[in-house]
Homo-oligomer: A and B are copies of this chain.
Amino acid sequence: MKRLQDKINEEGRVISAAVLKVDSFLNHQIDPVLMKEIGDEFADRFANSGITKILTIESSGIAPATMAGLNLGVPVIFARKRKSLTLSENLYTGSVHSFTKNETNDISVSKDFIDHNDVVLIIDDFLANGQAVLGLLDILKQAGASLAGVGIVIEKGFQNGGKMIRDRGIRVESLARIYSMENGHVEFYEEVKTI
């Protein structure tokens, strides 16, 4: 997605060869117009997939997922990172390991909102080691739901998450797929537009 790549080039800050900061439009400040375009792009790529629900994780997945849900006309569920007192029962729970923080946290989704009749699109802001997607896939398995695929705003293509998930036969659509961030420069995989 050209406009997203341009935005990353203009405003993204490469902190190290593995860390990209996009706090000015995705992870802290949000650009709603860009989020709408991202949501529309996800909706286009997964049109005719029979999607009934979108699943994401708080907090940075919420804006792009909600815009995709608006276009597709389906509800969006955000997995919670901490168990809330009012949500303590009736939950699907998955684990997400963070290599950066070297800790494992639970994520949870109420059983009220996903079941075996659902066809779910997973959306998240970043794909790196794929641990968040694994946690969400575990939740969908517990629910007996079908998976339409995974929509990612920014994939760090030089980390192993994308390969790991695609190797399971899962469709992954990344709107910006980074080949390398060596020398402080973001280099994208050549964009192949599938129409």
The answer to whether B59 touches A78, judged by C-beta atoms less than 8 angstroms apart, is yes
Residue from B32, B35, B58, B100 within 8 A of A58 (CB atoms): B58
18 A-B pairs (CB sep. < 8 Å): A19-B86, A21-B86, A23-B87, A23-B110, A28-B109, A29-B77, A29-B113, A30-B76, A30-B77, A32-B70, A32-B74, A58-B59, A59-B59, A62-B62, A63-B66, A63-B76, A66-B67, A85-B101
The answer to whether A15 touches B66, judged by C-beta atoms less than 8 angstroms apart, is no
- Cβ of A9 within 8 Å of any chain B Cβ, yes or no, is no
A62: B residues at CB distance < 8 A: 30, 59, 62-63, 66
The answer to whether A66 touches B32, judged by C-beta atoms less than 8 angstroms apart, is yes
A residues 72-101 touching B (CB-CB < 8 Å): 73-78, 80, 85-87, 100-101
Q: A23-B87, A78-B59, A101-B85 are in contact. Are A66 and B35 (CB under 8 A)?
A: yes
Q: Which residue of B lies closest to A30 (CB)?
A: B76
Number of A residues, CB within 8 Å of B: 38
List A residues at the B interface (Cβ < 8 Å): 15, 19, 21, 23-25, 28-33, 35-36, 58-59, 62-63, 66-67, 69-70, 73-78, 80, 85-87, 100-101, 109-110, 112-113
Copies in the complex: 2
A78: B residues at CB distance < 8 A: 28, 30, 59
Q: A23-B87, A66-B63, A86-B15 are in contact. Are A32 and B110 (CB under 8 A)?
A: no
The answer to whether B32 touches A75, judged by C-beta atoms less than 8 angstroms apart, is yes
